[in-house]
């Protein structure tokens, strides 16, 4: 769980209390999109901590088309915000334009909101460019007494950007799900552990990784975990992380070996100097 300072936590709690009342009133009046944008900008300022005059802008454009709002930190846009009228239900079609903006401008985080509902999207730059809905917040249902609810809100705060909290949360969601865990269970590293434990319980049993894998696929794991559109992407992610992890281990081992060699050389050199001095004294 991400640690939120007492000062920021107080700001989040007081802000949610204040704007829940404002949002209820605005929804009952069914205010238009322009007025909703004003409330959204106030939320970005008072709850999420962005400076209204230097960090929240409606002047950011992509290919001569202006976005509703953009959040700029140290001159660099971190979020694009697509705003809709408070009474409008948010749909996938509403985010397409903002996602196109993000893809064209190299901005990976997009927020779609009507003031009450906040949807946070992650743009992944590849061939082709893709996106995913990371999570949603309903400010009217958000319970400021629950740390988990406040944590989701904190990920959007200015202070969280310097800590890469949102990126870390995205990676956690990417790895800690049934598809990823299912694929990890099917890797040779895990199958080896299962096989060794079976052999410990019954040394006379001869079992292969392939036999264990077939049991997992046919009798233990749900079919949706290893079949479907998401599986290929999950496999690629796991393979990429495994390769990265092995590279780090290899680099660490190489560094340690080099250090040992250096220490040996220094020791040999030191001994050589001592032997030379002894010979001179003789």
pLDDT in tens, the chain (282 residues): 678 999 999 999 999 999 999 999 999 999 999 999 999 999 999 999 999 999 999 888 777 777 899 999 998 999 999 999 999 999 888 888 888 888 888 899 999 999 999 999 998 887 787 888 999 999 999 999 999 999 999 999 999 988 888 988 888 887 777 777 888 888 888 999 999 998 888 888 889 999 998 988 888 887 776 666 666 666 666 677 667 667 777 777 777 777 776 766 666 665 566 656 656 655
Same domain (yes/no): 185, 117: no
Same domain (yes/no): 40, 121: yes
Whether residue 40 lies inside any domain: the answer is: yes
Whether residue 63 lies inside any domain: the answer is: yes
Least Cα distance to 170 among 226, 108, 128, 213 occurs for 108
CB atoms within 10 A of CB 267: 10
Same domain (yes/no): 220, 250: yes
Whether residue 172 lies inside any domain: the answer is: no
Domain that holds residue 28: 6-163
Same domain (yes/no): 192, 158: no
Same domain (yes/no): 89, 186: no
Same domain (yes/no): 65, 130: yes
How far is Cα 51 from Cα 49, in angstroms, rounded to an integer?
7
Whether residue 1 lies inside any domain: the answer is: no
Same domain (yes/no): 117, 27: yes
Prediction pTM value: 0.70
Structural domains counted in the chain = 2
Preceding peptide of 128 cis, ω within 30°? yes
Same domain (yes/no): 202, 146: no
Same domain (yes/no): 154, 183: no
Q: Which of 163, 197, 229 is the last residue of a domain?
A: 163
- Contact between 123 and 131 (Cβ < 8 Å): yes
Same domain (yes/no): 204, 157: no
Helix or strand holding residue 231 (H, E): helix 229-281
Q: Which of 110, 128, 163 is the last residue of a domain?
A: 163
Same domain (yes/no): 101, 211: no
């Amino acid at each position: 769980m991400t640690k939120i300072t007492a000062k920021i936590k107080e700001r989040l709690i007081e802000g949610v209390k204040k704007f829940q009342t404002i949002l209820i009133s605005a929804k009952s009046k069914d205010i238009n999109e322009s007025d909703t944008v004003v409330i959204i900008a106030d939320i970005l300022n008072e709850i999420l901590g962005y400076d209204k005059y230097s960090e929240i802008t409606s002047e950011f454009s992509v290919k001569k088309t202006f976005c509703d709002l953009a959040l700029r930190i140290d001159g660099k846009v971190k979020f694009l915000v697509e705003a809709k009228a408070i009474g409008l239900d948010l749909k996938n079609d509403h985010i397409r334009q903002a996602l196109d903006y993000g893809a064209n401008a190299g901005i990976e985080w997009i927020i779609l909101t009507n003031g009450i509902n906040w949807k946070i999207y992650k743009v992944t730059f590849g061939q082709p460019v893709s996106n995913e809905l990371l999570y949603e917040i309903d400010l009217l249902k958000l319970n400021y007494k629950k740390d988990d609810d406040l944590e989701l809100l904190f990920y959007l705060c200015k202070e969280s950007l310097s800590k890469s909290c949102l990126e870390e949360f995205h990676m956690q969601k990417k790895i800690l799900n049934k598809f990823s865990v299912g694929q990890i269970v099917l890797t040779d590293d895990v199958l080896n552990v299962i096989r060794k434990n079976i052999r410990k319980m019954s040394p006379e049993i001869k079992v292969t990784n392939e036999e264990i894998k077939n049991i997992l696929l046919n009798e233990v794991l749900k079919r949706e975990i290893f079949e479907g559109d998401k599986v290929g992407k999950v496999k690629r992610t796991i393979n990429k992380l495994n390769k990265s992890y092995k590279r780090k281990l290899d680099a660490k081992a190489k560094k340690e070996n080099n250090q040992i060699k250096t220490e040996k050389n220094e020791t040999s050199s030191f001994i050589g100097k001592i032997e030379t001095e002894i010979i001179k004294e003789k």
